[in-house]
């Protein structure tokens, strides 16, 4: 593997994260429940991880702010534009696959 400096690694990770966010914004047809059922995480998870990273750096970011960073708009607006009611099969799969507490 190519030896990267810490700065390069951080820059490449940040670029990949920005690309992931852009992809998820473009694929609003993919619902969070689909992501959870297939991959075990969703847009809300990403926003929580972002907020947790900021808090570790002593930078307070609200849940709403971190969601807006991930969704590219206020969460309520994204829900109104893109969120559909989950089907019975999606809900059943979520119950099987959801993270255990």
- In tens, the pLDDT along 16-67 reads 999 999 999 999 999 999 999 999 999 999 999 999 999 999 999 999 999 9
Domains delineated in the chain: 6-97 (1.10.3340.10)
Buried b / exposed e over 24-61, threshold 16 CB at 10 Å, is beeeeeebbbbbbbeeeebbbbbbbebbeeeeeeeeeb
Q: What is the pTM of this model?
A: 0.87
64 contacts 52 by C-beta, under 8 angstroms: no
Binned at pLDDT 50, 70 and 90, residue 98 comes out as confident
């Amino acid at each position: 593997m190519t030896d990267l400096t810490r700065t390069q690694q951080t820059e490449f990770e940040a670029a990949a994260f920005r690309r992931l966010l852009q992809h998820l914004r473009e694929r609003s047809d993919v619902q969070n429940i689909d992501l959870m059922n297939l991959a075990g995480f969703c847009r809300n998870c990403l926003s929580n991880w972002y907020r947790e990273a900021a808090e570790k750096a002593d930078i307070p970011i609200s849940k709403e702010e971190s969601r807006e960073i991930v969704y590219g708009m206020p969460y309520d607006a994204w829900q109104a534009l893109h969120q559909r009611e989950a089907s019975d099969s999606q809900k059943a799969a979520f119950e099987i696959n959801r993270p255990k507490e």
